[in-house]
Amino acid sequence: MPESSQAQTAPHRERTSPQRSESLWGNPTYRQWFTADTASTIGAAMRGFAISLIAFSLTQSVVLAGWLATFSQIATHVSDVFGGTVVDRHNRKGLIIANAVFGTLLWGTVFVLIALHAIAFPIFAIVTVAASAVNGLLANATNAMLRTIIPTREYPKAQSLNQGRDSVVSIAGSPLGGVLYAVAPWLPFAVASLMYAISGVSAAQLRVDEHVRDMVTTDRKSKRPDTASQADCTSDAAVAPDADATAESAHTSFFEDFIEGWRWTLRRHTLLAICVIAALVNFGLNGVFAAVNLQLVSTHVDSVRLGFVNTVMGVGMLIGAVIAARVCERVHMGTGLVVLSVTSLLTLLPMLFSNDYLVILASSLIVGLPIPTINSLLMGFVFAKVPSEMQGRVESASGMLSMIPTLFCSALAGSLLPRIGFGATIGLFLAVLAVNVVIALLMPSIRSLPAADHWDDASL
């Protein structure tokens, strides 16, 4: 945010300012936040790995397994559309705890039913979709709260730490999930339930005094429509209302806040261009790996080897996270996006000609290398340019725009594999990545995105 916006203080803003310690780890609130976020990430990795295996074991159908994954993603992203507004209107700490409680109960129920041999596919599908919907509604609270914990200048570093953490979880989580599943199919869900419980306990210890609902209540009657419209179009960060305006503030409705978030997002042309690139990359990458996962499941590859694919990709992302921590402040975002687009296509191209396990592992390793740097830059840029009171809504709106095509990757891969085979299915998703390369090269708004030290001069 611009310094003029950060410098203003008002009763409606969070009372706890981001702590400016020399090290992120010197900030005790950040450590508690990181613990809560890490535990929920591990929980998601454990249950995510086992869902396809359980679905296939119950139905013996890659089509049904693929459609279950698709319905889960649809539930996540449909609820996420409204989740950003929920996050901006309510206490984020409480939402993090609520998400952890639901995760503990729902996946604990699955664990018990599988252990008692009382699980049926319809019940498993209902719980999976319900858990995905709750997660989509509440999960944004974690990232939205980070704005109140650390200063903007430390966010790229924090994001590179998150990328490294996620890579470690991928490295250890998938083979661990495979081993647990081999021991007993209910074990991954038991561990997931435990991790969500730990996340809730850690979140309960956070000491951040939030007044999030007041942050999105302004006196709309005191604003002329033309003035509000002009402010939306010319400023990348909302200026906090002064104390007098706050004193006269009137609570706005959920619908008004929801529309405001989408209007703010859709008027940012650079953000929309980023969403287009992200949507195509997400569709291509997720489609390829959905096809890989279902192909290995259908050919009865053991769960340990299946999990090792995610492990190898996690190794690539961990190496990439180490690189990101060193270069993310100097890399031009435009150059990075073009590199990511080209690399994603070239590194997955060998799968078009071979479904050999070693070829899949090699492509999985290399494709993960540039992802942490790009994620750190893009998320840091958006984090810096979006006002605190809009974080949840803009994240959910841009996330929805970036993920709409991806919702159908698993269903599409599961439906195509039995009909046209592995190579042709991979070819379809690679064609999307090829289109993305052309778009990234031809869009000036993408190529001109600057490095972090020039973000103040860039428009979102």
Mean pLDDT is lowest, of 214-218, 271-275, 318-322, 374-378, for 214-218
What was the pLDDT predicted at 50?
Answer: 81
Whether residue 220 lies inside any domain: the answer is no
Structure tokens at 113: 């039913």
- Residues 388-418 pLDDT 10s: 778 778 887 888 888 888 878 888 888 888 8
What was the pLDDT predicted at 105?
Answer: 94
- Residues 176-227 pLDDT 10s: 777 888 888 899 999 999 999 999 999 888 876 555 444 444 434 344 333 3
Whether residue 223 lies inside any domain: the answer is no
What was the pLDDT predicted at 277?
Answer: 87
* Residue pair 355/421 in contact by the 8 Å Cβ criterion: no
Q: Considering its fold, how many domains does the chain have in total?
A: 1
Whether residue 137 lies inside any domain: the answer is yes
Whether residue 198 lies inside any domain: the answer is yes
374 vs 419, residue with greater confidence = 419
Whether residue 241 lies inside any domain: the answer is no
Domain with 61, as residue range(s), is 16-211+259-457
Whole-model pTM: value is 0.62
Which band of pLDDT confidence, cut at 50, 70 and 90, is reported for residue 74?
confident
Q: Give the CATH number for residue 309.
A: 1.20.1250.20
Whether residue 225 lies inside any domain: the answer is no
Whether residue 316 lies inside any domain: the answer is yes
Whether residue 164 lies inside any domain: the answer is yes
Mean per-residue pLDDT over the chain, rounded: 78
127 vs 169, residue with greater confidence = 127
